[in-house]
Amino acid sequence: MNARVELMDDVTGMLPTARRIALEQALQQLLGSTLFARAPRSCDLLSFLVQKKLDGKEHEITEQAIGLAVFRRDARSYDTTLDPVVRVQMGRLRARLMVYRATQAAPAIQLTIPLGSYVPVFTESALEATPTPTLQRPLQLAPLRNLACAEDTRAFVAGVDEELGSKLFHTFGSLVQLPQHALGWGAGGPEARHRLEGSIRVEHHHVRASMRLVDTRAGDIAWLSQIDCSGELGMRLQEELAGVICGQLQCYLATVTADA
């Protein structure tokens, strides 16, 4: 198992100088990555959260405070129940962090923001590296099902399908059977042990992808995940959604590899 250590001084609530410097460097490396360089709102949000954490002011990390400080809402009229800007941007930030962790070499310090909280958590690897997820037999990718009613969602779902196939192939190699080739193995060729299938629903620019990894022999579900994100139905959201799906699958396979 991969041990993790929380980098916060539980006694004082403040970080020792050396750790603070290390965390600030880790943050700057993350913000300078290609994934975050093109997302200024996510950069501003993450910088605000991390600065509050480093200063020992977690009690000031509230939805109201974020809306006023980061997204420049007017304190006289800002109502968090009517304006979801913080919740929407937090969803996008979590998605980017997950993609970053899945696509970068394992960093010495990792940053996450747990669901249900706005407070960032810093962890560092201790002793063992995370096992590299591998495929022993082909993985069959089934076409994503479009459960949305609107006609314009068809192109969006097709784009997610393309992005997901590309990311899976680049991550796991030729053992990934893309939908158009899923039945193309000749007699005696390797049989897919698992099939990745899922569906996408879209409602008012809110997207929910429900994914599952099915054991093709037993018919059992080996892994199940539901991903929510919001935004314009375009290429950027397609890339983010496919990246999160691929990243979560990598995490599951890494666990399987570690336990094998």
Q: What is the mean pLDDT of residues 124-128?
A: 49
Report the C-alpha gap between 22 and 120 in whole angstroms.
Answer: 15
Residue corresponding to tokens 């698992």: 194
Report the C-alpha gap between 236 and 246 in whole angstroms.
Answer: 15
- For residue 141, pLDDT over 80 is answered with yes
Q: What residues does each domain of the chain span?
A: 3-126, 139-259
SS (H, E, C) the chain: CCEEEECCCCCCCCCCHHHHHHHHHHHHHHHCCHHHHCCHHHHHHHHHHHHHHHCCCHHHCCHHHHHHHCCCCCCCCCCCCCCCHHHHHHHHHHHHHHHHHHHCCCCCEEEECCCCCCCCEEEEEECCCCCCCCCCCCEEECCCEECCCCCCHHHHHHHHHHHHHHHHHHHHHHHEECHHHCCCCCCCCCCCCEEEEEEEEEECCEEEEEEEEEECCCCCEEEEEEEEEECCCCHHHHHHHHHHHHHHHHHHHHHHHHHC
Question: What sign for the dihedral angle of Cα 29, 33, 37, 42?
Answer: negative
pLDDT digits (tens, 9 = 90+) for 31-60: 988 888 888 999 999 999 999 998 889 999
Question: In the predicted model, what is the mean pLDDT of the chain?
Answer: 79
pTM over 0.75? The answer is no
Q: 139-259: what CATH class? A: alpha beta
Q: Which residue has the higher pLDDT, 251 or 249?
A: 249
Q: CB–CB of 100/35 below 8 Å?
A: yes
pLDDT digits (tens, 9 = 90+) for 199-249: 999 987 788 899 999 988 878 898 888 888 777 888 888 888 888 888 778
Q: How confident is the model at residue 67 (pLDDT cuts 50, 70, 90)?
A: very high
- For residue 158, pLDDT over 60 is answered with yes
Report pLDDT for 199.
Answer: 95
- For residue 103, pLDDT over 80 is answered with no
